[in-house]
Amino acid sequence: MTGEELLRRTGEDVFHLWQTCRNSDKVVEWSTGRRFLRLDRAVNGYARLSPSIRLEFHTYTVLGLKDQVTEMDDCVRGLVQEIRRISPAKLNLAG
């Protein structure tokens, strides 16, 4: 499931849940997104990673147990297809 789905099911604080998943030996975590270094004057040093930890976990991370790798692979494929479908639509809307 995605981080968003796990958040809805547990009702946990996003950062607590993210940390728990990252530190667990039982949970496998795959990210389908890319990270970018963005220049941002509002940030000391003028740079930050994008997407934020919260957005990456919420939207681009697929979580499962070690014995669920096949299901996770299917979920990742579906998520990547959705991202590929949405990204051009966003560019057309902005352009």
H-helix segments, the chain: 3-10, 14-23, 53-55, 69-94
Average pLDDT of the chain is: 88
Domain layout of the chain by residue ranges = 3-94
Q: What is the pLDDT of residues 37-64, one digit of tens each?
A: 888 888 788 888 888 888 899 889 999 9
Query: Measuring CA to CA, how many Å separate 95 from each of 36, 50, 88?
Result: 21, 21, 10
What does the alpha-carbon distance between residue 59 and residue 69 come to, in Å, rounded to a whole number?
19
Q: What is the pTM of this model?
A: 0.75
pLDDT at 89 over 80: no
Rounded average pLDDT over 64-78: 93
Location of structure tokens 């958040």 = 7
